Structure 1
Amino acid sequence: MNRKTLVLPAVAGLLAPLLAACGGSEDARAITVGTTDQFIVTEDAPAPLDPAYAYDTGAWNILRQTVQTLLHVPRGGGEPVPEAAQTCGFSDKASESYRCTLRSGLTFADGTPITAEDVKFSIERVLKIKSDNGTAALLSNIDTIETQGTDGIVFHLKTPDATFPYKLSTPVAGILSKDKYAADKLRDGFDVDGSGPYTMKVEHEGDKATRFVFTKNPAYKGDITLRNDKVELRPFADSDAMGAALEHDDIDMMARSLSQKQIKDLTETPKEKIRVTEVPGLEIRYLGFNTEAPSVEQKAVRQAMAAVVDRGALVNLVYGPTAEPLYSLIPSSITGHATPFFDEYGEPDPARAAKILKDAGVKTPVKVTLNYTTDHYGAETAKEFEALKNQLVASELFDAKVQGAEWSTFRTAQKRGDYAVYGLGWFPDYPDPDNYIAPFLDSGNFLNTPYVNETVREKLIPRSRRQADRNAASPVYAQIQKIIAKDVPVLPLWQGKQYVAARDDLNGVEYALNTSSDLLLWELGRGTA
């Protein structure tokens, strides 16, 4: 059904002045955004939207609309600024003590006052639950939390950490109500309650969410300015279905994830009343390894794969101009970027890979299975992994095959260690080199990897965090990246660009998706404003 037949009479009168300015009563309908992210409750992941568990872009895009944090990254990027807080800052030169004062009159959406105790409860809850999703690792450097009156809170850190304000701006540090969330267990299902700019209702069919409806929270007090009163987020099975909905005016915008073909078609042959916008992006894709799995436990096998993979050919075949080869975990636009994998292995060289394997006494061909998720990163993922398999097989050093699984199954199996080789993407929690290193190599990491390098974990990561001037940390990140290139616990492949497509009566599109792929739905509006 075309959404233009849907009217919201209850709010039409309230919006009349705005509608007159923006061009007609039709603007009263909710803005609808499409996504290919899937939201499923499973036995292994019964609480996909609990801040103590959620650690993927799709889930965080729900939480950012509904759960408030002490700080947030402002439009256009930069250092975090106060959101639920009135003020925040380090109270010592060593970056070990961080103090915030809450805004006056802050309440949850149901009207319950928010105090410093609620902040303390919420963050201690994450650390106590310590889910296997790696979420708690972002806050694991907190030693103690001290409240000062009803509105003051001090975080005492174990070691200096100049990146701590960024971590407080992520949904893992969302402020929750003791009445809605238990202190020692996850909240199952899709319900989310907080003090963010919107309240949320979810529609679902069985264990799968089919629509999220965000309505302006009248109790909200914070740094965000809402340009709409209601937004819907609608999951689609794939980018083609999402694109058809946009073309038929059933949705206003599609964000995550457009296929390479859609981007090409919309750019070269624009459709009437639809425009495509490129926005800055910091996504990376990589292969991860279970370094205890028999097929890849020998470092030589992983090094040989690094010497064989042709990133340029992969990108050209599958992604075209929407991606570029990556020779580091840290993308080119982030401080600390280098090219350690190119420096170590150079251009793809099967002869060199063969020597690496021979010198290590590894019999060839090495049997490997490349595991990928079929429904989380876009339509091209299957083609990408088929291309990777073909490159490995063509070297005559590997007997490779591919295996796909839905995200709900894939992620659980990956964390459990079922896969020797697997493909993942990373959208940064915050735009700092630390967030391209610690989630893969620090304790309690996102990958749940058995790989441990004590020098990186105990010395280099803490040293990098002492630098308030992040440019000054670059030499430390260069050391870390050289170690990664030699040990190959992960193999970076490419970094991508971001695109959104929207109806031409929607504005604010260029601000609605930031470099970390966070959806900022409050930026969207109708008309020419």
Structure 2
Amino acid sequence: MTGRTARGLAATTLAAALIASAAACSKPAEGGASAGGDPASSVVVGIATEPESLSPLLGYGKDGNSKIFDGLLAHDAGMKLKPALAAALPEVSPDGLTYTYKLRPGVTFSDGRPFTAADVVFTYRTILDPKTNNASRTELDALAGVEARGTDTVVFTLKYPYAPFAERTVLPIAPQHIAGRQDVNSGEFTTKPVGTGPYLLTGWSKGEKLAFKANPRYWGGEPAVKKFTMAVIKDDDVRATRLRSGELDAAVLPPNLAEGFAEDKGRLGAPPSGSWGIYAATSFDYRNVTLPTHNPVTGDLAVRQALDIAVDRKAMVDSLLEGSGKPAYGPVPTDSPWFTAGTERTHDPVKARKILDDAGWKPGEDGIRVKDGVRAAFPLWYTSGDKIRQDHALAFASDAKKAGIEVRTQAGTWEVIEPRMKTDAVLAGGGSPADPDFDQYLLLHSSLAGDGFNNMARYADPAVDRALDQGRRSGDPAVRKAAYDTVQRELVRNPGYVFLTHIDHLYVVNDRWDGPSTQVEPHDHGLGTGPWWNVETWKPEK
């Protein structure tokens, strides 16, 4: 759950000052057109967020595409699994409890040491160790054990037939000979990693950039893009400005800013090739509002039900996203085969007001409802810089006010927001396309209530817990579909979050490269996603 950013209207002057300051003070990223880099072999991309750690043992790159590392498997352009460090897809036992991987021969880490089965065993066992600070450990709940058979074979044994287990083996593999000699949570490996991937980290200036160079030992062949830099620019407007100035070759942008680049062909300030490539990626990435059960207002079921139908999702897609997305009624997009038909919520402010009336929330003199001396008002936090989140927060507050609920939008850093999440609402995001278990369990299971950014609303519903457990533990597709149908129907009855939109990610790329493309993307759209998901295969356009 990263990159939740927005600006309040009251901060307009401050935002303008920050933009000017960033443009004046930030060093040009390595390799950009204005930075003197070789345009034939250097790429600089603008991203909104950066990880806290670069160690896969702590969760970095767990969904693949980490650039520094490889998993046993990887995703192709169509999100189908393909071999990476494994020589082939796994052999699965008839009972679904054993997965056997043969490893690709001749692979070395970037320091020249050989990659073996011992590194795979080390990686998974370390992640499963309770002493390791990996917030995603529960994603490997099905794993009973992992062992090496010689140097080239790894066998995973499961507790139960976990249907999407192979998807979990895109997780990057760490070198035992380096990471195993350090403190897993604080050692140098967390910021100076060594992997088998197509790139080597050459520098990380926190809050500014991550710089990479091509790995000459890469098993897939040394990339044509020799320098690859990710410039961390949290503010959308600053990112767009630096892209247009030539400091960046590509960037993720919200729809209103990306649209401007689509009209730039032939204009002053357009890239040397005369045009920009605009890439749209459909995604499972949703925006939602947490409704903390420990807040006296949002903890009331009637308030949650009313807010769930008071919001105008279609208007948000049309006006905030300019059509680049779709209404969200839960974590599953409406065009997914996992979506449960009939769980769409119609925008109905009249019914929302009736729900509140019937529950005893009566309008006060100022129009804001009151029940038992409690005013129907609560804060909604978001972080600064992301226009999409700003717009969603303000639109949600506007719709809520029409029902008689006051939502006070407030901006802050995650250091400010996180301690308040137990009682204060947050404009959040999430979503994973690989399997419904990947996102829904972390988001909704009561056992993870208050566990960092897992289950931020501290939602607890026994029927949802049972369905999530069944969906996770069954290998029968029909049983799993029924389980996730139950989850989606329960979210209509007992919303713990108001889901607003699923967002199509938009990227602008200097149109001088042959190779950029997009995949169906998760919530995270920074280091591992975007048109640079396959940057190691790019070639200069001839």
Q: Settle same-fold status: TM greater than 0.5.
A: yes
User: Out of 418, 435, 438, which is 1:435 matched to?
Assistant: 438
Task: State the TM-score, normalizing by the size of structure 2.
Answer: 0.80
Q: How far apart, CA to CA, are the structure 2 residues paired with 1:290 and 1:187?
A: 35
Matches within 5 A, 1:61-460: 64-78=66-80, 80-129=81-130, 134-171=135-172, 174-181=173-180, 182=182, 184-187=184-187, 190-204=191-205, 208-221=206-219, 226-255=223-252, 258-268=253-263, 270=265, 271=267, 272=270, 273=274, 274-338=276-340, 341-342=343-344, 347-348=348-349, 349-355=351-357, 357-358=359-360, 362-363=371-372, 365-375=375-385, 378-396=386-404, 398-407=405-414, 409-410=416-417, 412-413=418-419, 417-428=421-432, 430-442=433-445, 443-444=447-448, 446-449=453-456, 450-460=458-468
Match of 2:535 in 1: 522
Are 1:37 and 2:49 counterparts?
Answer: yes
Tell me the amino acid that sits aligned with residue 441 of structure 1.
L
Match of 2:21 in 1: none
Task: Tell me by how many angstroms 1:368 deviates.
Answer: 1.2
Secondary structure at 1:52's aligned position in 2? helix
Tell me the amino acid that sits aligned with residue 44 of structure 2.
T
Secondary structure at 1:33's aligned position in 2? strand
Are the counterparts in 2 of residues 370 and 422 from structure 1 also a CA contact under 8 Å?
yes
User: Out of 504, 507, 511, which is 1:497 matched to?
Assistant: 504
Are the counterparts in 2 of residues 51 and 63 from structure 1 also a CA contact under 8 Å?
no
Tell me the amino acid that sits aligned with residue 142 of structure 2.
N
Relative distance call for 1:356 and 1:95 in structure 2 (3 A) is farther
Task: Tell me by how many angstroms 1:524 deviates.
Answer: 5.9
Relative distance call for 1:369 and 1:262 in structure 2 (3 A) is same
Are the counterparts in 1 of residues 307 and 352 from structure 2 also a CA contact under 8 Å?
no
Unmatched segments (≥5 aa) in structure 2:
1-27, 363-369
Q: How far apart, CA to CA, are the structure 1 residues paired with 2:55 and 2:158?
A: 24
Task: Tell me by how many angstroms 1:409 deviates.
Answer: 4.5
Are the counterparts in 2 of residues 134 and 448 from structure 1 also a CA contact under 8 Å?
no
User: Out of 492, 512, 516, which is 1:509 matched to?
Assistant: 516
Superposed CA deviations along residues 245-301 of structure 1, whole A, max 9, x for unmatched, are 22222221113xx12321232335545422322233221111223323333223222
Relative distance call for 1:152 and 1:502 in structure 2 (3 A) is same
CA RMSD of the aligned region, Å?
A: 3.1
Are the counterparts in 2 of residues 63 and 192 from structure 1 also a CA contact under 8 Å?
no
User: Out of 487, 491, 507, which is 2:494 matched to?
Assistant: 487
Relative distance call for 1:131 and 1:381 in structure 2 (3 A) is farther
Match of 2:366 in 1: none
Tell me the amino acid that sits aligned with residue 145 of structure 2.
T
Identity of aligned residues (%): 20
Tell which deviates more after alignment, 494-503 or 419-428.
Answer: 419-428
Q: How far apart, CA to CA, are the structure 2 residues paired with 1:332 and 1:37?
A: 27
Superposed CA deviations along residues 291-349 of structure 1, whole A, max 9, x for unmatched, are 23333223222222213222223333422212221112201232211355535x66343
Tell me the amino acid that sits aligned with residue 52 of structure 1.
L
Superposed CA deviations along residues 150-172 of structure 1, whole A, max 9, x for unmatched, are 2221111122111111111144x
Superposed CA deviations along residues 156-194 of structure 1, whole A, max 9, x for unmatched, are 1122111111111144xx333342353653446632221
Q: How far apart, CA to CA, are the structure 1 residues paired with 2:359 and 2:91?
A: 50
Secondary structure at 1:510's aligned position in 2? coil
Are the counterparts in 2 of residues 374 and 407 from structure 1 also a CA contact under 8 Å?
no
Tell me the amino acid that sits aligned with residue 376 of structure 2.
V
Are the counterparts in 2 of residues 70 and 82 from structure 1 also a CA contact under 8 Å?
yes
Task: Tell me by how many angstroms 1:484 deviates.
Answer: 2.0
Superposed CA deviations along residues 411-437 of structure 1, whole A, max 9, x for unmatched, are x436xx444321211142x43233342
Match of 1:19 in 2: none
Are the counterparts in 1 of residues 101 and 155 from structure 2 also a CA contact under 8 Å?
yes
Tell me the amino acid that sits aligned with residue 391 of structure 2.
K
Secondary structure at 1:352's aligned position in 2? helix
Superposed CA deviations along residues 49-95 of structure 1, whole A, max 9, x for unmatched, are 3323346xxx77997110221111112222x1221111342432232
Would you say how many aligned residue pairs link Structure 1 and Structure 2? 483
Are the counterparts in 2 of residues 52 and 135 from structure 1 also a CA contact under 8 Å?
no
Secondary structure at 2:129's aligned position in 1? helix
Task: Tell me by how many angstroms 1:365 deviates.
Answer: 3.9
Secondary structure at 1:277's aligned position in 2? strand
Relative distance call for 1:228 and 1:286 in structure 2 (3 A) is same
Task: Tell me by how many angstroms 1:494 deviates.
Answer: 0.5
Secondary structure at 1:108's aligned position in 2? coil
Are the counterparts in 2 of residues 190 and 202 from structure 1 also a CA contact under 8 Å?
no
Q: How far apart, CA to CA, are the structure 2 residues paired with 1:240 and 1:521?
A: 26
Match of 1:20 in 2: none
Task: Tell me by how many angstroms 1:7 deviates.
Answer: 6.1
Are 1:48 and 2:56 counterparts?
Answer: no
Secondary structure at 2:499's aligned position in 1? strand
